[in-house]
Amino acid sequence: MKVAVRYYTKTGNTKRLAESIAAVCGVEAKPISIPVNEEVDVLFLGNSYYAFNIDPEVRDFVAGLDKSKVGKIVNFGSAAMLNSTYKKVKAVADKVGIPMDEREFHCKGEFKGIHKGRPNDDDVKAAGEFAKGIIG
């Protein structure tokens, strides 16, 4: 199974999760500024809420994906307030024709003192375990 890991972060929280997922998958976690040019069965996509929506860079990244190169997207991330960005990412992925796996990983993320220390080591480990469940 070919896997890619991309993430968008403003605080570094989602990057920590991405690196754990990538380590389990034997690939490198890369920011969304690096396009997915290779064919992959699974694209793990890390993101979070910013001002109650996914960041425009995430929206543009997903909108620019080539459906002939990405089998499915698996959503993951961290957030201080809202949890799942699944519906927001899926709305864009549906327009491109890329399916979303219904499974996703989210944990609390520290932001301006809220959820201090999160994601913690347990969260990072859980993200890796989640990836193992996806790739088998």
Q: How confident is the model at residue 131 (pLDDT cuts 50, 70, 90)?
A: very high
C-alpha distances out from residue 64 to 58, 98, 99, Å: 10, 11, 14
* CATH tag, 3-135: 3.40.50.360
Domain boundaries, the chain: 3-135
Q: Which pLDDT score is estimated for 75?
A: 97
pLDDT at 43 over 90: yes
Q: How far apart are alpha carbons 53 and 82 in whole angstroms?
A: 10
| Burial bucket for residue 51 (CB in 10 Å: 0-12, 13-18, 19+) | exposed
What pLDDT digit, counting tens, does each position of 68-79 carry?
A: 999 999 999 987
